[in-house]
Structure 1
């Protein structure tokens, strides 16, 4: 294939991919007429489809098209053998119908499964041109050709591009909601504060403070609450000791006062006894 033609085909498939969602491997529906033309012209159908569509392809055929080849007799046995190598596409027709009607029903009105149709039937190609987004491939003098997009395809492409430019319903609600409902509140003008550049900064003492001496290194200092509790208990103990000392001293003074008259009586008794003994000694004659 020439480089100019390959470039044009590449642009066409890019259009189908960007606008209608075609992806590789492309699903190619082949009819009975294309199988006959490929065997007669000795064309490698799968290889030619790869080069024309500029990507991987997956050839497919319906049961109705194969039935048409069987009806042609043994003369078209090579075409039947070629058709059997393709993937079978279920058309859901209990009784076989003509291949053109079968492919038209499979493609549908919108080609939602993104099929590429390879056919030699002129009436079928006319029908498919009225359906948007249907790439058509045919053989012209032993050369496989990809047809340019139809008018229906171009109109559908322009419509989708125009819709993409306008916002959707949900986007319109989001855009229309907060803008028209309320306006942002205005700030009230009030007294202004002083200019921070004109305010003097606080002076910071640059003289370093001497580090505090740690008397007990390695010992954990008690917290403020624990220290206060310990000081309170010590004060209570000192007060109790002072009271006990005062009481003991008072008791000793009282005991001493009680013992003084007894000592005086004992002294008096001793004095009386000494006078009596002296008197008796004097009264005894010698």
Structure 2
């Protein structure tokens, strides 16, 4: 297989895996016509399926498809032997039906078991394109081809991606509980606007025209200043009329033998010292 085609098939199977949950080994549902085509071209069907799907595969076949090969006789005995090597998929049909109808019934309307269908039947391929998430493989001139996504599958893929992006019911409930109530948007008030405060001149403060009154002085400060003034003028203080000498301060007693102060008056203590 060419590198460009292998890269395209790898991307396609990754899209099926991400959107619809396909996992390896891929379950490949093979019909009777695909077994006959592989024998006619002498190709290894299981190996080619692994190369095309870019992963491990698990081929499967229904009982109705094997019964369809039995009816064709010994001419297709090699195809019968090949079909017997595949895993048997129960179709729950009591009487054998056509292989196309059996495969379509196993796939169902949603392909919940994630089958990859390998078939050479053109009517079956057209029917499977209308079912979402069904990869279809067929052989064209001994080359196995994986068909691109159908329109139904692409639409289902977009819906699945949108559903994954939306929060779950539990997450939405948590967000609703913790989300505060939104306040209604406030309406802008329409009307004349005031002037720009930066362009308005400041008002000038008017000075008073009358005499400026002196600040009031406390009563204690007035008394202290009056006392100091009387003491400086030589007037006695009414609180201490005897003067500073009688205010409780005693004169220091002169020691014996000390010289008398020059021109000083002799008090009673100095007279007693002289008598002695």
TM-score bucket (shorter structure):
0.5 to 0.7
Alpha-carbon distance between aligned partners in 2 of 1:156 and 1:181, rounded to the nearest angstrom = 36
Shift of 1:165: 2.0
Residue 177 of structure 1 deviates from its aligned partner by 1.3
The answer for the alignment partner of 2:139 in structure 1 is 139
1:21 is displaced (CA, Å) by 0.6
Q: Matched residues in 1 for 2:31 and 2:179: separation?
A: 58
TM-score calculated relative to the size of structure 1 = 0.62
Q: Give per-residue Cα distances to partners, 1:193-234, cap 9 Å, x unaligned.
A: xxxxxxxxxxxxxxxxxxxxxxxxxxxxxxxxxxxxxxxxxx
Output the CA distance in 1 between the equivalents of 2:41 and 2:117: 19
The equivalent of 2:227 in structure 1 is: none
| C-alpha separation in 2, matches of 1:50 and 1:118 | 12
Distance 1:71 1:82 in 2: 16
CA distance in 2, matches of 1:75, 1:166: 56
Aligned residue for 2:22, secondary structure, equals coil
- Aligned-residue offset at 1:169: 2.1
Aligned to 2:151: 151
Query: Which of the pair is proportionally richer in helix?
Result: 1
Quote the RMSD (CA, aligned, Å): 1.4
- Report the counterpart of residue 177 of structure 2 in structure 1: 177
CA shift digits 1:29-69 (9 cap, x unpaired): 00000011011111110010010000000010000000000
TM-score in terms of structure 2 length: 0.65
- Superposed counterparts of 1:83-94, under 5 Å: 83-94=83-94
Partner of 1:217: none
In the TM superposition, residue 181 of structure 1 has moved relative to its aligned partner by 6.1
Distance 1:64 1:131 in 2: 21
Deviations 1:47-104 (CA, angstroms, capped at 9, x unpaired): 1001000000001000000000000111111110110011111111111000001000
C-alpha distance in 2, partners of 1:146/1:68?
25
Which residues in structure 2 correspond to 1:93-132 (within 5 Å)?
93-132=93-132
Equivalent residue, structure 1, for 2:57:
57
Q: Secondary structure at the match of 1:134?
A: coil
Change (3 A) 1:75 1:161: same
Matched residue pairs, number? 183
Q: In the alignment, is residue 163 of structure 1 matched against residue 159 of structure 2?
A: no
